[in-house]
């Protein structure tokens, strides 16, 4: 992205992060009031969509998760493709630090989670859950705590989160695809091939793309594959070259136009329907069970160890430089913010654990929200302290 587009992206993410906080708090508060049954009735209310021979009945939560979140992953795919071909991920010199930090930020949280869940009574299948970073929440926390820190830190966080999203998509594809329906998967593959061919037609009407996207999503939903993959794969088929000389590309236009809707509508709605849980449904002894404890500490301890440890190693070996103008304490503060898993961790947790097991889903929400909140508060505290020291200590 250009400097201007990057700053606009970060501004949108900052505003979205604040909205995510309010949406999640509203859900948790409502779920613990005397009218909590209204919240859970809404979240679990069945909705049927039928178009011709296609019919699907799912709860509101599942429609948001399998329908609207596919649009989120479509935008994520557009951003990943752009960054790989034109942006930060296309420059090997800038690539090493955030990408290797992202890898460390996936491995260490998984290791911490498995320390609590590898044995009897644990749930080892949930190890990918604390591996994700919620970019909107993290960027918002950075903007609030230390708005005057170097832009290089924000770009580092943005690039790391994009690499993190790519790893998350790979994990979803590898681990959470089951009960495959070959004919439906074949239909999705054929539709994706048509999209790839259409990318050579630079002036193809947008209406054709929309029809192909809907068809790809429907086939993927029925195939047993996560619809998040349909969103990412559809994005990879969008042309990045300008449609006509002097015009912007379809990829750029879609990324620019869809991103505000994803940031201010889809993600807050997902946070609202996915974050709500009742403390009454979770016995006190389960608050320190292996799943919530593994998730919370995986996000809070694992992320900072993995991200900061990998970054320090890469910089120490002179494979990359510290972000321009940034101090070690500031880099550590950003590493703490990477432990804000929130929407991405809730999404992966919904795939990793049986959605019909309400008690386990509550434990997942407690662990993700608790670990994300702790990472946000401590990270913001460290960054605010570092920012306050800047005028006195410029070395």
pLDDT in tens, 243-257: 777 778 888 889 888
Give the confidence band of 1 by pLDDT, cuts at 50, 70, 90.
Answer: very low
Q: Where are the extended beta strands (E) located within 221-292? A: none
- Tokens for 21, please give them: 């906080």
Rounded CA gap, 112 and 132, in Å? 14
Contact 326, 149 (CB under 8 A): yes
52: left (phi over 0), alpha (psi -120 to 50) or beta: left
Rounded CA gap, 375 and 92, in Å? 30
pLDDT, position 2: 47
**pTM for this one?**
0.80
Minimum mean pLDDT range among 33-37, 240-244, 370-374: 240-244
Four-way CATH pick for 3-177+226-389: 3.30.70.20, 3.40.190.150, 3.40.720.10, 1.20.1530.10? 1.20.1530.10
pLDDT, position 225: 81
Minimum mean pLDDT range among 85-99, 156-170, 305-319: 85-99
- DSSP for 355-393, please give it: TT-HHHHHHHHHHHHHHHHHHHHHHHHHHHHHHHHTTT-
């Amino acid at each position: 992205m250009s400097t201007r587009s990057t700053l606009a992206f970060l501004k949108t993410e900052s505003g979205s992060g604040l909205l995510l906080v309010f949406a999640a708090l509203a859900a948790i508060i409502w779920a613990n009031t005397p009218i909590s049954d209204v919240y859970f009735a809404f979240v679990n209310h069945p909705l049927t969509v039928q178009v011709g021979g296609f019919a699907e009945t799912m709860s509101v939560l599942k429609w948001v998760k399998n329908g609207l979140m596919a649009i989120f992953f479509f935008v994520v795919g557009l951003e990943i493709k752009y960054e790989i071909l034109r942006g930060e991920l296309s420059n090997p010199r800038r690539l090493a630090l955030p990408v290797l930090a992202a890898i460390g930020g996936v491995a260490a949280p998984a290791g911490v989670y498995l320390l609590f869940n590898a044995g009897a009574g644990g749930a080892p299948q949930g190890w990918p859950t604390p591996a994700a970073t919620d970019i909107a929440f993290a960027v918002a926390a950075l903007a609030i705590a230390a708005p005057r820190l170097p832009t290089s830190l924000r770009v580092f966080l943005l690039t790391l989160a994009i690499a993190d999203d790519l790893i998350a998509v790979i994990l979803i594809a590898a681990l959470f695809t089951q009960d495959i329906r070959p004919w439906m998967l074949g239909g999705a593959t054929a539709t994706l091939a048509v999209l790839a061919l259409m990318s050579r037609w630079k002036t193809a009407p947008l209406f054709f793309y929309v029809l192909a996207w809907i068809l790809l999503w429907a086939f993927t939903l029925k195939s047993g594959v996560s619809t998040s993959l349909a969103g990412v794969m559809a994005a990879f088929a969008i042309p990045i070259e300008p449609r006509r000389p002097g015009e912007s590309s379809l990829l750029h236009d879609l990324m620019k136009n869809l991103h505000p809707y994803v940031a201010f509508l889809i993600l807050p709605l997902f946070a609202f329907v996915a974050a709500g849980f009742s403390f009454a449904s979770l016995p006190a002894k389960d608050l320190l069970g292996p799943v919530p404890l593994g998730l919370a500490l995986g996000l809070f301890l694992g992320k900072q160890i993995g991200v900061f440890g990998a970054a320090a190693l890469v910089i120490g070996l002179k494979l990359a430089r510290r972000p321009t103008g940034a101090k070690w304490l500031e880099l550590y503060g950003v590493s703490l913010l990477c432990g804000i898993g929130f929407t991405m961790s809730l999404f992966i947790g919904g795939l990793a654990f049986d959605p019909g097991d309400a008690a386990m889903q509550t434990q997942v929400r407690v662990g993700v929200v608790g670990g994300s909140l702790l990472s946000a508060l401590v990270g913001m505290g460290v960054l605010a302290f570092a920012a306050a020291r800047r005028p006195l200590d410029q070395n």
